[in-house]
Structures are given as C-alpha cells and as structure tokens.
Chains A and B, each alone.
Chain A
C-alpha cells in the first residue's frame, strides 16, 4: 500500500489500490485496528474514484496557430 494521499491519486492509482485493499480485507488476516484503517482508506479511495468518474464532461476545442505553426490558443470546435 502506498502512502500517497488519496486526493493526489489518479483514477488508475486509486482504483488499483481500492481493489487490492478490498482483497486484503476480505482475506480477513489483518488485525482489527488495521482493518478499520483499511476500511477508512478504502472509503476515501472509493470517493476519489467516484469523483473522477463524475468528471466526465465533454469539452472539445481546436488549436489555433501562428504562421510558423506554433499553437497560440484554442477556439471552439464545431464538427
């Protein structure tokens, strides 16, 4: 288990740790204190994953360039 704060985790990191944590907890071979800690961290990871899954807004923009082909900004994209 990493000690990385849950708030800084990517979705992938959070879901991976959540999965392994649930597995350990289900195995039932952790001390009570530890299982309570795991449960709390698991709940935080689940919240983090759900938050990441909620960030599912489609935003499409087109790059604008100067004459030498360098990106200068974006403009709305209409396909």
Chain B
C-alpha cells in the first residue's frame, strides 16, 4: 500500500535516469556559466604527466576545483602556484562520473600588481637566501668574445637592435637561440636555452659561445613574468658561460637580473657591454706600435750616444802602449849580452867543479868514514858493559838502605816535634792573657785621665739640677735645688739663696761701669 501510494503521490513528476539528470545539470551549468571570471587564491596544484594542470581556487569559505587542459596550459600568462591571488577566466562544467562540478580555466591573471609583487619579493628573498645572487658567483665578462649566444625571440626589434650595435662596435659571430619571451612556455624555453648553450662542447659542430645575452623588450609585469621564474633564475645562476641579462626597459627589474653576471638596462646596452669598439682598439694598437718603435729605437740610439761619449774619454792606444814598448826594447837589448855573460860564468864554474872530481879524493873520504864507524862501534861496546855494572851497584846500595830502623826513626821525629809545639802553644797563650790584662789596666788609667773626675781634683765642680747638668745661670735660676759635685763628694745647695747672693753681687759689678 505504502509503496503504491508513494508511486502514486510522485506520479506527475518525470522520471530521470542518473545519466539523464547529470546531463541536464551539466547543460544548465554550462549554459548559465559559459564565461566567468573568478577571483580567489590558488590552493593545491598538481601537474600530472598528462600535461593538464589541476588546482583549487579558494576563498575563506569555499573551494572550487579547476583544471587547465594541456593545450591551454602552455598558453597561460601566469603559471598557477599555490598561494597566488588570481583572477581565473573560463567556464563551469560538471564531471558526472563523480558528481562534481569544476571550472575549466582558459587564462589566469594575477589579481592586481600588489599580489604579484608580494609574491615576487618572497621568491626573491628565498633565492637570495640560497646564495644564487651572491656577488662571489659573478664571472667577469670576456674582453673580446669570439662567439656570442643570444637567447631571445628570433623575430622582433630586440635581436635586430643587438646585431646592429654589435656590427657598429665589433662584428662577431652570433648564435640566436629562439625562445618565446612571454607566456607559459617562456620560462622553460629560456632556461633550456641557457642550459643548452652551456652544454655545447668547445670545438664542437656548433661553436660554444664565450658570452650569453638573455634579452627581451619592454612589457608589462605580466609580460616579463617568465624571467622571474625560478627555473630561469637557476639556469642563469648556474651558467658557466658569463651571462648578461637585458630584459625589459631600464626601470624593469626581473629576478634573472640578480642572477646574471651583468645586467644591461636595454638590449642595445647589452651589446655595448659585450664587445669593445674595434676602431678604438685599432687606434690603441697603432699607438702602442708607435711607442714600441720609438722606445726600441731610443734604446739603441741612447746607448750608441753613450758609447761614443765613452769612446772619446778613452786614452789613445799609443799613449797606453808607448811605456811598455820602451821597456820591451830595452829588455831586448839587454837580453843578448846578459845571455852571453851567464853562459861564460857557468862555463867557469863547471871547469872548477870538474877539477875536483878525482877518484883519489873520493877514496880518501870513504876510508876516513870507515875508520870513524869502527871507533864508534868499540865505544858503544864499552859503554854497554859499564852501564850494566853501574846499575848493579845502584841496586845493591838501595837494598842496603831499605831497613825498618829508618822507618821508626822517621816516625819518632814528628812525635817530638808535636810535643814541642804543644808546650810552645801553652806558653804563648799564658803570655797573651797577661799582656791583655796589662792593656786593660792601662786603658782604664787613660780613661780616668780623660774623664771629668780628675778635673774635679784640680778645682772644678759639676753643678746638677736633678739629673741634668747645669751649665748656664739661666738654668740655675730655674732650679729649685742645685747639687754640686766636688772631687771628694757631692753637696746640695738651696737654689734661691745662692741666686740672691749672685744678684747682690751683680749690682756692685754694674756700678763699676
């Protein structure tokens, strides 16, 4: 009943299959949202090998699944990255297989320059922290590169500007590596080109550049965005070939500028950094050539001049040689006669010596020597016998002298000597003590004579007040009691009474005057 009633109550409504209703929803959504722009933050991004890009768009309350199909993905102005604030353009559709709806994204634009700049600053700081912008990494540019590699668009003003300026300054061999200079493909192509130039073998079929220029004309920040991408920055920083970046106008700065070895404000300026001016170099070489000839000639002429100066100062050969020549002449003249004289002398001496050389003379000498040898032999024999005899006698005498009695005698003698010395020592000590006693008595007497006591016997007296000796009237007047020492003892005198007696004397003396 319930079932029947149920079917009965819904009887008016059409009945859909799942596919039918899903299809209907899909149609409705696609018609209603066929072209939309959605602003939001990019969430999780996944890039499977299929080439499609899947990501989320989100705000604080909702999430919208988004996909960019392979064909479209490469044309995106901005590569979607997590955290990026963007405005995505596209349409809504559904995915009936999972009861889902999602946005097909055809283009992504950063949501305002502020958001983009904030992201750029963050990326720049991260890459700088890695050391990719360190000045120590920078390579010097070659003075005159033989081959210059240019990474840029093959069509457009940029490559023409560069070639033109190179032609003006110093025509060189140029290799253009064509790349897209904006859009999704830009970053990967530029990075590939930088790596590609570095990968070329020196001396290979394609000449390896001595210098790379990465160039692009001016554009909006979005146009130049590829040159801010991490892969480009890393490729530039890793380039073993010195690299000049020239992206945008003077005021545009992209991250590749920080990683490049030099930054040129414009592509034309890059060409100026790349090569010197040939005509200036020719002039310079000619100048060096002229200076070389001048200095080389001067080196010779200056020395020639000096040689001539020195030659003038040299004395003439005649004056140097005349003295020795004269000495030679005179020596020559004396040589003949001296030689003659010398041979004459020698001849005379030879004759003399020859006269003495006769056999008789020699024999006499020999006989005399033989006789002296015989005599010496006899004397030696006699001497030997006498020597033996003498030594024997000496020995016997010495043996006789060796008797114990003599040793005892030699001991007794020192013993007697010791006793005598002892007696002498005692006598001397005694005498010494007596003499010292006498000296003490004498000194005592001397002391008495020098002391004041002896003076007392001659009529002097010592006046004291207490322990102090009184030597002035003034001191005596002050004392209460005076003690007078005579030779035979001491007595006390009342100070005042004596003072009065003194005073009474004084006026009498005063009257005399």
Contacts and interface: CB of A to CB of B under 8 A. Distances in A.
A53 B292 contact: no
A15 B303 CA distance: 28
Interface in B267-291: 278, 281-282, 284-285, 288-289, 291
Given A32-B303, A52-B144, A58-B166, A79 B160 contact: yes
Given A28-B302, A69-B189, A77 B154 contact: yes
Nearest to A52: B144
B407 interface: no
B69 interface: no
Interface string A34-55: 0110110011001001101101
Query: Which of A53, A60, A77 gathers the greatest number of chain B CB atoms within 10 Å?
Result: A60
A25 B206 contact: no
Contacts of A19: 288
B144 A26 contact: no
B178 interface: yes
B174 A61 contact: yes
Contacts of A57: 171, 173
Contacts of B295: 22, 25-26, 28, 35, 39
B292 A36 contact: no
Nearest to A68: B192
Nearest to A38: B296
Interface in B185-219: 189, 192-193, 196, 199-200, 205-206
Contacts of A25: 291-292, 295-296, 299
B196 A22 contact: no
B116 interface: no
B190 to A, nearest CB: 11
A79 B364 CA distance: 134
Contacts, number: 126
Given A28-B299, A28-B302, A74-B175, A56 B205 contact: no
Contact of A56 (B143, B160, B170, B176): B170
Interface residues of A, number: 41
A2 interface: no
Nearest to B291: A22
A43 B173 contact: no
B131 interface: no
A32 B299 contact: yes
Contact of A58 (B167, B285, B303): B167
Nearest to B178: A62
Contacts of A61: 173-176
Classify chain B: how many residues form its interface, as a range.
35 or more
Contacts of A35: 295-296, 299-300
Q: Is the interface of B mostly helix, strand, loop or mixed?
A: helix
A63 B177 contact: yes
Interface in B148-167: 154-155, 159-160, 163, 166-167
A57 B170 CA distance: 8
Contacts of A73: 205-206
A73 to B, nearest CB: 7
A59 B175 CA distance: 8
A54 to B, nearest CB: 9
A36 B192 CA distance: 53
Given A36-B299, A77-B154, A79-B159, A62 B278 contact: no
B163 A60 contact: yes
A74 B289 CA distance: 40
| Chain B CB within 10 A, most for which of A30, A42, A63, A65 | A63
A58 B174 CA distance: 8
B154 A62 contact: yes
B23 interface: no
Nearest to B302: A28
A30 B167 contact: no
Interface in A4-28: 10-12, 15, 18-19, 21-22, 25-26, 28
B285 A18 contact: yes
Contact of A63 (B196, B285, B289): B196
A26 B53 CA distance: 71
A58 B302 CA distance: 46
B172 interface: yes
Nearest to A11: B144
Contacts of A56: 170-172, 278
B142 interface: yes
A74 to B, nearest CB: 6
Contacts of B282: 50, 53
B21 interface: no
Given A15-B281, A58-B167, A79-B154, A74 B206 contact: yes
A50 B285 contact: yes
B143 A10 contact: yes
B378 to A, nearest CB: 89
Interface in B298-340: 298-300, 302-303
B292 A43 contact: yes
13 contacts: A11-B143, A11-B144, A15-B284, A19-B288, A22-B291, A36-B296, A36-B299, A46-B285, A53-B281, A62-B176, A71-B196, A71-B200, A74-B175
